[in-house]
Amino acid sequence: MPENTLPNTLPYAGLRVVEFTHMVMGPTCGMVLADLGAEVIKVEPLAGDNTRRLLGSGAGFFALFNRNKKSIALDLQSPEGREAALRLVATADVVSENFKPGTMKKLGLDYASLKQLNPRLVYVSHKGFLPGPYDHRTALDEVVQMMGGLAYMTGRPGDPLRAGTSVNDIMGGMFGAIGVMAALAQREKTGHGQEVQSALFENNVFLVAQHMMQYAVTGKPAAPMPARISAWAVYDVFQARGGEQIFLAVVSDSQWAVFCDAFGFADLKDDARLKTNNERVVAREWLIPMLRERIARYGVAELSAMFERHALPFAPITKPEDLLDDPHLQATGGLAPITLPDGRETRTVLLPLTLDGERPGVRLNPPRPGEHTRELLAELGYSPEEIDRLTKT
């Protein structure tokens, strides 16, 4: 398996994480820690995590968020399976879970129980809500987007629309990982672990906090994005020749001058009504239709070349599948080869950061169900006969 970062040079090399997770939020936390070098062991049911079998928009969840992990399959409903899980946890630095409130307590795998076994343990829970009046509710990314203002801001007035990706699940898992990092740093000082909690709803509120503060500062509610009064005069999607679309932005007075000069719009540059950005914002009602008509004469390639040459912000409208062939991602190592659990080869997206100039890479493919069960149980002291009994479905 290609590696662009040696395992023993990664910051969390030597750290063991045991995760009881499924879907996106919890696995994202584990993926971040795994990419940064931790040994992450995913505890799955004997039949495998149900996330493996999702269709449609969930088909990519398992492959993306479970790389660089080992898989152990245990029946946590049986005393023997729970005992094996406890033995595993006793060797761990971190436990991560994202089951419904009360589930881990019923299994004897909650923080209060496990810290008696391992006082240095850092335990991270990923939930719908932090403890409070809502914490009994069942949450999904879409639920908190609707109740947390994000769907309102994304859609047109009267037509709330969820964001096009699992923003709260993914960011909630990231904040869980940040909490783990903080708790590990604290453990270096105190010698004791602690419980970390991350939640979908609170993550969503953090995402819309800028709009909340806009209201607090101005006294005026933020309008949904499609109906907003833009802070900049030219900040729109335009249709180019042939029907293709491109986003173009001109966000300062100096950029306006460059834009007008580049396209030969001397009449607009000299128009006294358009001298400053704020004046151009006021003039948007007639300015933008005029610009749309003029821009439509150019193809997307021409516009992209012109904006890039003059250091103006632009972006052709791109579909997710097109990014697999993006020249920047390919040139910078943002995509890495990976083998899916069914044996097919593809590429995956790496963490959006570098460490000493290197992108943390893929060390382990997404595991097959229970792929590492026998070796991990043997490491915990189980005999071959005991392993046979524990792995029998």
Select which of 49, 159, 169, 322 is catalytic.
169
Distance of CA 373 to the CA centre of its chain: 28
Distance CA 257, CA 270 (A): 10
Entry field: residues in the chain: 393
- Do residues 47 and 71 touch, judged by C-beta distance below 8 A? no
Distance CA 266, CA 356 (A): 47
CB atoms within 10 A of CB 138: 8
Place of tokens 């007075």: 253
CA 185 → CA 12, 176, 179, distances in Å? 12, 14, 10
Structure tokens at 377: 């149980």
Q: Is the dihedral of CA 258, 259, 264, 270 positive or negative?
A: negative
Distance CA 327, CA 295 (A): 26
Distance CA 88, CA 16 (A): 10
Distance CA 212, CA 238 (A): 29
Distance CA 123, CA 80 (A): 22
Residue 169: active-site member: yes
CB within 8 Å of 246: residues ≥ 6 apart: 237, 238, 240, 300, 303, 304, 314, 315, 316, 317
Q: Is the dihedral of CA 291, 294, 297, 300 positive or negative?
A: negative
Residue type (1 letter), 41: I
- Do residues 127 and 197 touch, judged by C-beta distance below 8 A? yes
Distance CA 268, CA 271 (A): 5
Query: Which residues belong to the active site?
Result: 169
